[in-house]
């Protein structure tokens, strides 16, 4: 019996153990041989003999089970080990692309205004003089037209110099009240370190009944929007001039690079100019035949926001499809 | 527009106003401070008076000067040639620091003791105003020997550059800026007034006359002077240097200085040759020629008012007799005339087109004062003038309307105070709505909103409380909104498929479009003024922009470029359309252990699967396009919802070489076709289905799409799916190929029996045999 237990203990693999199992527990195994002897045992001893056999069998079975569990565990362990991989070899596979930072910034801006129940509107890139200038209180020869170097076509059309013509189109197509934004590409004939012939703007327009929409409302929404975009910054409104709004203001945020101390980015003023806004000029309403209304409008350059938000040093690199820039946003 | 602190001080007392308040006030009223330069002169630099100048015994170019510095007379060796003309100079005494590591010390120059240094303007940190040492004169204040130079605030001034908006012609002068400041700082403005002291005996009226032809819609004033030895004072030179207008000619400097100070356009004509002794007269003729006011003097054309002056008519510092003209012309009418006639203009047109100062006597008085105080010039008695009387512009305003526009209650008294301080005259202020007369220098004022802007500027935006707008909620999503979100979704999928988002200019090089056989905008609709030749027309494809980007990336040693762009393109008629354009160039995946650092280049299979991850399901059919980027045997039309909406292709090897690229694939799809359509769900079968594979032998030239269309047209009710899983060609098959289709057959309402299956399969086999001669393999 001792000897049988030893044979189980000595099996080092599951195969060896299986062999031992057959030798011990099989039909022609050692235990079967022992049980065969039972028929030769005289009557009165039979019971005790059988009990002894069963006891031994149970004991052997327990030893076997324990051995099996152990070897099985070792076997799985070995299999798992064989499948080991250095996972860190697969770091940063770079399988995903990136949204363009300008487009991602545009998305972020749109999210804000859509959440405030603004509609999104658009218009053509090739515009006529009426929508791009005339209706926006920019009559021919107005000095402010100089501010916008325009691409002209042979038939008198222009590439829109701002998203503002979408205001005009929307007002002509709809009735007040209006709450809209118009994101999109605009074009100016200017190409240097800080200018590209195409860039993106977002325009906003709110029109309500006369006396309903005020400069104080504009101040409120612009401040909230800039906090949403730039976090805890100081905001400054400066009176300014745009032909299509009056009163007009330019809005600055405290420089996010130097926190207002003064640095190269803010030209040592401590402030960064980020958008323009104002109360819609009555001449604009006249051009679209709106009466007894009031409204505010605002506009901003998306590249400027993207560059400030992500500290992108050069405007022109945004238009070169340079994957060294883009992959940073993956 | 550039002003300085002390220059402003001529008109408004800023002594109690700190720099910080000054800059803040300018910004607050819309005169944006663009740049501030503060000049400080180091300590121990003092006024010295030259007692004597002698040549240095051992050096030709050096002089030994004895200079009275008040406490003492110092010997200083000086190398500047203009020391011989000088009386008062800036002396840096021992211990003065002219820079980080430049301290004045006791020195010996070629054996001669020197106790200090005579300084030039640039050595003091001031702008360059001429060669040699700085010669002081009393234009900067009374010269007191020994006084520290940094106490002369006109030297150590603060220069403020203002970014002026296009509507504020009235602030194109120091006086104009001071006038605006006086309103916000609540300080009085000092008007300039001067009575001539010594005049020529002759009256101007006796020696000249003014004639007009036609309507003269401008105002002019003329005075005449006999000139002698005029010079540019230190103060003028310095201030003109601050505004970058310092010239060599003293008369030109005086004119610039007066215009910059007063805002009035001032011109000078040389009338030295007119023989007044012999009864000749100065005859000024103003003629209206199609709105242009021409000035002739003794029949010679001299200038066009507000537009330009003819070079030959200009007086200079050597002219003995000069006729001065102050003029004003309404800017709005002027710009129309100039643009209509495409007239050439001079430097002053910038001021006249934005609105110069209409109060002409201001500049004439200033000129008279300057000539008599600083120069040996005498003016003829009297002024010849032509006044174009304009009707007062009156705007009716109401406190309530203004307050509503601003969204903040502003007292009537405050409105009146602000407008009065800005030069407006208030009428009938007891009534609810009242009139205000606009000062002539504010030609930009037209309506109540203009007035409201003035109130906002001076009241201060900071003092207006922000109030959220109460508005009516409404369903404001529209088709553009939906399109935007569809685009955003599509962009996210392109990004997930490994493409980077690109933005390129919506322009193209017409030559390239022609070369690659893309359409281009009709000649008569093209851009007149392109920015560069390689952006000389609108693009009709985005793929060329993407190829250029891929080429740039390859030049930066990037081994793979995957870009997509959703942007506008234009057709021949300049109609706009949005495209999703994609490029995949080079390695199809990054280098990593999985490919032993040697990834394969992009191929048709990988590209199409990436595209499918972005677009969802689409069909491909043999391409019907003909642009030169297409590979004739690896290109296809893309079909979504049964419509051809784009193409994909392996880049033609010739084009690949043009751009020096590796294997490259491109695709362009019309964005509108990709907007998700509404979907209704179909019933799903609860019964088991069967897969059946059919291997057919069919002619090589028959594309799968034809077979697929034919099978679809059978509309077999049990055929759930059918797709190709293998194609095989070899010599034995010759002109034929073996195509294996997998069919999935399933019924909605029952478990299939063999008959059902066979009838479906047989229908397909029979039809393909009839249509294409296909046989079972």
A217/B contact by beta carbon, under 8 A: yes
Q: Are B509 and B601 in a shared domain?
A: yes
**Residues B721/B743, Cβ–Cβ less than 8 Å:** yes
- Whether residues B694 and B667 share a domain: the answer is no
Please state the length of chain B: 777
Residue written as tokens 């008369």?
B251
Mean of the pLDDT values across residues A252-281? 90
**Average of per-residue pLDDT across B358-369:** 91
Q: Is the pLDDT of residue B295 over 90?
A: yes
The CA distance from A28 to the nearest CA of chain B, in Å, is 48
| CA dihedral for B587, B588, B593, B595, sign (positive or negative) | negative
Residue B40 sits at φ, ψ, to 5 deg, of: -125, 135
* pLDDT band for position A292 (cuts 50, 70, 90): very high
Is the same domain home to B227 and B171?
no
Asked if A177 reaches chain B (Cβ–Cβ under 8 Å), the answer is yes
Q: What mean pLDDT comes out for the span A270-283? A: 95
Which band of pLDDT confidence, cut at 50, 70 and 90, is reported for residue B374? Answer: low
**B72 inside domain:** yes
Indicate the residue of A210, A236, A282 with minimum beta-carbon distance to B447: A282
DSSP B245: -
β-strand partners of A158: A127, A152
Q: Which CATH number do you get for residue B662?
A: 3.30.930.10
Place of tokens 């000069």: B322
How far A325 CA lies from chain B's nearest CA (Å)?
10
* Domain match, B633 and B513 both: yes
Residue B690 near residue B757 (C-beta atoms within 8 A): yes
- Any chain B CB within 8 A of the CB of A108? no
A22 interface with B at CB cutoff 8 Å: no
Q: How far does the CA of residue B346 sit from the closest CA of chain A (Å)? A: 16
**From residue B608, how far is each of B615, B639, B650, B759 by CA, in Å?**
10, 13, 11, 35
Any domain includes B281: yes
Looking at the structure, tell me whether residues B217 and B356 fall in a common domain.
yes
Cα distance between the two ends of chain A: 70
Same domain flag for B650 and B722: no
Q: Which of A157-161, B61-65, B253-257 has the lowest mean pLDDT?
A: B61-65
pLDDT of residue B194: 76
Closest CA–CA distance from residue B205 to any residue of chain A (Å): 39
Of residues B467, B496, B503, nearest to A216 (C-beta):
B467
Tell whether A154 lies on the interface with B, counting CB pairs under 8 A: yes
Are B285 and B301 contacting, i.e. CB atoms less than 8 angstroms apart?
A: no
User: What's the rounded mean pLDDT across residues B651-679?
Assistant: 96
Judgement on whether residues B363 and B252 belong to the same structural domain of the protein: yes
Chain A residues whose CB is inside 8 A of the B538 CB are 126
Q: Which of residues 247-276 of A touch B (CB under 8 A)?
A: 247-250, 267, 269
d(CA A228, CA A222): 10
What residues of B are in contact with residue A191 (Cβ under 8 Å)?
A: 531-532
Query: pLDDT above 90 covers what percent of chain B?
Result: 79
Q: What confidence score (pLDDT) does residue A1 get?
A: 60
CB contact under 8 A, B505 and A96: no
Q: Which residues of A touch B29 (CB under 8 A)?
A: 239
290-329 in chain A: CB under 8 A from chain B: 294, 318-324, 326-327
- The C-alpha atoms of residue B392 and residue B394 are separated, in whole angstroms, by 6
**Residue B279 located in a structural domain:** yes
Q: How confident is the model at residue B379 (pLDDT cuts 50, 70, 90)?
A: confident
Query: Could you tell me if residue B169 is inside a domain?
Result: yes
Query: Is the residue at B473 inside a domain?
Result: no
Cβ within 8 Å, pair B405-A215 = yes
pLDDT (tens digit, 9 = 90+) per residue, B385-432? 998 878 889 999 999 999 999 999 999 999 999 999 999 999 877 888
**Domain range spanning residue B172?**
2-36+160-185
Chain A residues with beta carbon closer than 8 angstroms to that of B23: none
Q: Is B241 helix (H, G, I), strand (E, B) or coil?
A: helix
Residue B190 pLDDT exceeds 80: yes
- Compare CB distances from B527 to A151, A250, A294 and report the shortest one's residue: A151
Residue of A nearest to B465 (CA): A216
Nearest to B390 by CA among B441, B318, B316: B441
Give yes or no: residues B600 and B501 share one domain: yes
List the beta strands (DSSP E) in A14-94.
none
User: How many domains is chain B partitioned into structurally?
Assistant: 6
Between chains, do A322 and B556 touch, taking CB under 8 Å as contact? yes
Percent helix, strand and coil across chain A, each rounded to 5? 45, 20, 30
Angle (CA) B26 B29 B34, round 5°: 45
How far apart (Å, rounded) are the C-alpha atoms in residues A52 and B414? 118
Cβ burial of B61 (10 Å; 0-12, 13-18, 19+) is: exposed
Whether the CB-CB separation of B120 and B134 falls below 8 Å is answered with: yes
* List of residues 6+ apart from B280 with CB closer than 8 A: B274
CATH number, residue B66: 2.40.50.140
Query: Tokens standing for B764?
Result: 């397909």
Residues of chain A neighbouring B469 (CB-CB closer than 8 A): 206, 208, 212-213, 217, 220-221
Write down which residue in B386, B407, B437 finishes a domain. Answer: B386
Best to test chain A binding among B501, B536, B547 (most A CBs inside 10 Å)? B501
- B109-140 pLDDT, tens digit per residue, is 888 889 999 999 989 989 988 878 999 998 89
Beta strand pairing call for B282-289 and B208-213? parallel
Residues B260 and B322 in one domain: yes
pLDDT above 70 (res B32): yes
Question: Which member of B501, B535, B589 has the closest CB to residue A99?
Answer: B501
Q: Do B527 and A152 touch (CB under 8 A)?
A: yes
Query: Could you tell me if B75 and B51 are in contact, meaning their C-beta atoms sit under 8 angstroms apart?
Result: no
Residue B428 forms part of a structural domain: yes
Q: Report the CATH number that the domain containing residue B381 is assigned in CATH.
A: 3.50.40.10
Listed by number, the residues of chain A in 68-97 with a beta carbon closer than 8 Å to a beta carbon of chain B are 89-90, 93-97
Cα dihedral sign, B108-B113-B115-B118: negative
- Which CATH number fits the domain that encloses residue B399? 3.30.56.10
B574, B612: one domain: yes
Closest residue to B500, CB basis, from A216, A250, A326 = A326
Contact B505 A196 (CB under 8 A): yes
Q: Using CB atoms, which residue from A126, A321, A327 is nearest to B552?
A: A321
A173 and B CB contact within 8 Å: no
Residue B448, CA atoms < 13 Å, CB-side half-sphere? 15
Pairing verdict, β A198-209 and A293-301:
antiparallel
ipTM: 0.89
The answer to whether A11 and A64 are in contact (CB under 8 A) is no
User: Tokens representing B292?
Assistant: 């242009």
Verify that B663 and B533 share a domain, yes or no: yes
Backbone angles phi, psi at B126, to 5 degrees: -90, 165
A6-40 per-position pLDDT tens digit: 888 888 999 999 998 998 888 888 888 888 888 88
**Which tens digits make up the pLDDT trace of B482-530?**
999 999 999 999 999 999 999 999 999 999 999 999 999 999 999 999 9
User: CA A213, A216, A220: angle at the middle one, nearest 5?
Assistant: 105
Of A66-70, A148-152, B605-609, B637-641, the poorest mean pLDDT is in: A148-152
Single out the residue of A177, A168, A172, A161 nearest to residue A119, CA to CA.
A177
- End-of-domain residue from the set B355, B386, B417: B386
d(CA B429, CA A136): 33
The continuous run of DSSP H or E covering B209 comes out as: strand B208-213
Mutation site for B-interface testing, chosen from A207, A321, A328, A330 by largest number of B Cβ within 10 Å: A321
Average pLDDT for B239-256: 94
User: CA-to-CA distance for B621 and B635, rounded, in angstroms?
Assistant: 9
pLDDT digit string (tens) for A192-243? 888 999 999 999 999 999 999 999 999 999 999 999 999 999 999 999 999 9
Q: How far is CA B598 from CA A71, B280, B660, B663, B775, in A?
A: 42, 97, 20, 15, 43
Which residue has 């002897």 as its token pair? Answer: A37
Report if residue B465 sits inside a domain.
no
Shared domain check, B178 and B217? no
* Chain A residue nearest residue B547, CA to CA: A321
Nearest Cβ partner for B549 among A151, A198, A321? A321
Between B193 and B206, name the one with better pLDDT: B206
Q: Would residue B452 count as lying in a domain?
A: yes
At B332 the pLDDT is 86
């Amino acid at each position: 019996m001792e000897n049988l237990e030893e044979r189980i203990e000595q099996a080092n693999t599951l195969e060896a153990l299986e062999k031992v199992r057959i030798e011990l527990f099989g039909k022609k195994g050692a235990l079967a041989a022992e049980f065969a002897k039972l028929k030769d045992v005289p009557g009165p001893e039979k019971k005790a003999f059988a009990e002894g056999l069963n006891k031994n069998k149970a004991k052997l079975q327990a030893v076997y089970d324990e051995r099996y569990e152990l070897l099985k565990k070792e076997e799985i362990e070995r299999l798992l080990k064989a499948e080991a991989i250095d996972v860190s070899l697969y770091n940063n596979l770079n399988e995903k692309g990136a949204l363009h930072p300008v487009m991602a910034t545009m998305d972020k801006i749109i999210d804000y205004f859509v959440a405030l129940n603004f509609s999104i509107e658009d218009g053509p890139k090739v515009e006529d003089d009426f929508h791009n200038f005339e209706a926006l209180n920019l009559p021919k020869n107005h000095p402010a037209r100089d501010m916008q170097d325009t691409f002209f076509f042979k038939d008198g059309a222009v590439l829109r110099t701002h998203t503002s013509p979408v205001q005009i189109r929307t007002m002509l197509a709809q009735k007040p009240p209006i709450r809209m934004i118009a994101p999109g590409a605009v074009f100016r004939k200017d190409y240097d370190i800080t200018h590209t012939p195409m860039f993106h703007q977002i325009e906003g327009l709110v029109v309500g009944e006369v006396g309903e929409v005020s400069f104080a409302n504009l101040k409120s929404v612009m401040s909230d929007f800039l906090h949403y975009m730039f976090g805890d910054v100081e905001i400054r409104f400066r009176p300014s001039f745009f032909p299509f709004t009056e009163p007009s203001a330019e809005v600055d945020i405290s420089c996010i690079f130097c926190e207002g101390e003064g640095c190269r980015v803010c030209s040592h003023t401590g402030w960064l100019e980020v958008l323009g806004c104002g109360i819609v000029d009555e001449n604009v309403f006249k051009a679209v035949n709106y009466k007894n209304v009031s409204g505010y409008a605002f506009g901003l350059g998306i590249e400027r926001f993207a560059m400030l938000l992500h500290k992108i040093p050069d405007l022109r690199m945004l238009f070169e499809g340079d994957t060294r820039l883009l992959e940073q946003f993956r | 527009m550039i002003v300085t602190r002390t220059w402003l001080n001529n008109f408004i007392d800023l002594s109690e106003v700190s720099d910080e308040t000054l800059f803040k006030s300018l910004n607050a009223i819309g005169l944006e401070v663009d740049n501030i330069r503060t000049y400080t002169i180091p300590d121990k630099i003092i006024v010295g008076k030259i007692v004597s100048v002698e040549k240095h015994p051992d050096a030709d170019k050096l002089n030994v000067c004895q200079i009275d510095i008040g406490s003492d007379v110092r010997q200083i060796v000086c190398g500047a040639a203009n020391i011989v003309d000088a009386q008062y100079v800036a002396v840096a005494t021992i211990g003065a620091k002219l820079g980080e590591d430049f301290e004045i010390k006791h020195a010996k120059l070629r054996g001669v003791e020197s106790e200090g240094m005579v300084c030039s303007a640039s050595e003091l940190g001031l702008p360059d105003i001429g060669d040699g040492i700085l010669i002081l004169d009393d234009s900067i204040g009374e010269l007191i020997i020994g006084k520290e130079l940094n106490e002369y605030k006109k030297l150590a001034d603060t220069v403020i550059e203002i970014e002026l908006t296009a509507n504020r012609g009235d602030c194109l002068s120091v006086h104009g800026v001071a006038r605006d400041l006086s309103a916000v700082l609540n300080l009085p403005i000092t008007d300039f007034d001067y009575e001539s002291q010594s005049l020529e005996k002759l009256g101007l009226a006796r020696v000249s006359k003014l004639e007009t032809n036609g309507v003269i819609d401008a105002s002019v004033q003329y005075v005449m002077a006999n000139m002698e030895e005029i010079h540019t004072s230190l103060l003028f030179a310095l201030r003109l240097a601050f505004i970058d207008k310092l010239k060599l000619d003293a008369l030109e400097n005086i004119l610039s200085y007066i215009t910059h100070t007063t805002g009035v356009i001032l011109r000078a004509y040389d009338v030295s040759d007119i023989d007044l002794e012999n009864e000749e007269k100065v005859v000024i003729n103003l003629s209206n020629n199609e709105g242009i006011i021409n000035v002739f003097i003794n029949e010679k054309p001299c200038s066009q008012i507000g537009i330009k002056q003819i070079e030959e008519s200009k007086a200079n510092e050597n002219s003995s007799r000069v006729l001065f003209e102050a003029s004003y012309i309404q800017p709005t009418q002027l710009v129309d005339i100039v643009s209509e006639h495409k007239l050439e203009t001079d430097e002053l047109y910038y001021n006249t087109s934005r609105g110069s100062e209409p109060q002409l006597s201001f500049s004439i008085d200033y000129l008279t004062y300057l000539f008599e105080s600083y120069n040996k010039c005498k003016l003829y008695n009297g002024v010849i003038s032509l006044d174009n009387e304009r009707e007062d512009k009156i705007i009716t305003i109401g406190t309530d309307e203004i307050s509503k526009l601003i969204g903040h209650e502003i007292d009537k008294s405050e409105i009146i105070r602000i407008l009065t301080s800005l030069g407006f005259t208030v009428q009938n202020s007891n009534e609810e709505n009242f009139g205000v007369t606009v000062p002539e220098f504010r030609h930009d004022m037209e309506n109540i909103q203009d007035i409201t802007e003035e109130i906002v500027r001076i009241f201060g935006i900071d003092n207006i409380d922000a109030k959220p707008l109460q508005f009516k909620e409404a369903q404001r999503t529209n088709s553009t909104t939906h399109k935007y979100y569809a685009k955003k979704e599509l962009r996210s999928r392109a990004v997930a498929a490994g493409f980077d988002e690109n933005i390129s200019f919506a322009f193209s090089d017409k030559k390239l479009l022609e070369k690659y056989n893309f359409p281009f905008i009709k000649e008569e609709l093209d851009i007149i003024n392109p920015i560069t030749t390689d952006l000389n027309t609108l693009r009709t494809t985005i793929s060329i922009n993407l190829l250029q980007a891929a080429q740039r990336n390859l030049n930066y040693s990037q081994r793979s470029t995957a870009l997509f762009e959703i942007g506008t393109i234009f057709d021949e008629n300049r109609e706009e359309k949005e495209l999703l354009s994609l490029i995949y160039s080079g390695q199809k995946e990054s280098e990593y252990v999985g490919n032993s650092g040697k990834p394969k280049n992009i191929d048709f299979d990988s590209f199409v699967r990436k595209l499918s991850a972005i677009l969802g399901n689409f069909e491909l059919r043999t391409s019907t396009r003909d642009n030169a980027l297409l590979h004739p045997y690896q290109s296809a039309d893309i079909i979504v919802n049964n419509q051809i909406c784009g193409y994909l292709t392996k880049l033609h090897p010739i084009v690949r070489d043009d751009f020096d690229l590796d294997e490259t694939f491109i695709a362009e799809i019309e964005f509108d076709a990709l907007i998700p359509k509404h979907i209704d769900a179909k019933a799903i079968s609860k019964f088991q289905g069967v897969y059946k594979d059919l291997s057919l032998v069919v002619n090589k030239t028959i594309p799968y799409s034809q077979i697929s269309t034919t099978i679809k047209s059978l509309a077999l009710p049990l055929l759930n799916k059918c797709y190709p899983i293998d194609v095989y060609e070899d010599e034995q098959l010759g002109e034929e190929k073996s195509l294996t289709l997998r069919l999935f057959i399933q019924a909605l309402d029952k478990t299939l029996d063999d008959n059902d299956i066979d009838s479906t399969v047989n229908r397909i086999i029979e039809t393909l045999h009839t249509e294409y001669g296909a046989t079972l393999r």
